[in-house]
Amino acid sequence: MPTVVECPTCHAKVEWTEANKYRPFCSERCKMIDLGAWAEEKYTIPGAAPTDPLDEDAPETR
């Protein structure tokens, strides 16, 4: 029995097999929607913004 996962975009049940060339997505459409979200920077990791080491006002870290 193949592993069944949930499509990250539409949440449809998808068999994780080599026959599904879009896995873990259910279709090319869902894959492209996800790619578009990455391109638009909709996915983020929470945290402080990085500081520019060349910024004169930034505290020194040595």
Domain boundaries, the chain: 3-39
Residue 22, annotated as binding a ligand: no
Residue 37, annotated as binding a ligand: no
Residue 26, annotated as binding a ligand: yes
DSSP assignment string, 8-52: TTT--EEEESTT-TTTTSSSHHHHHHHHHHHHTT-----SPPPPP
User: How far, in Å, CA of 2 to CA of 16, rounded?
Assistant: 6
Whole-prediction pTM value?
0.66
The length of the chain, given as a count of residues: 62
Question: Per residue in 9-25, pLDDT tens?
Answer: 999 999 999 999 999 99
Give 39's contacts (C-beta < 8 A, 6+ positions apart).
Answer: none
Contact in structure between 24 and 34 (CB atoms under 8 Å): no
Residue 7, annotated as binding a ligand: yes
* pLDDT of the residue at 56: 67
* pLDDT of the residue at 16: 92
Which class is domain 3-39? alpha beta
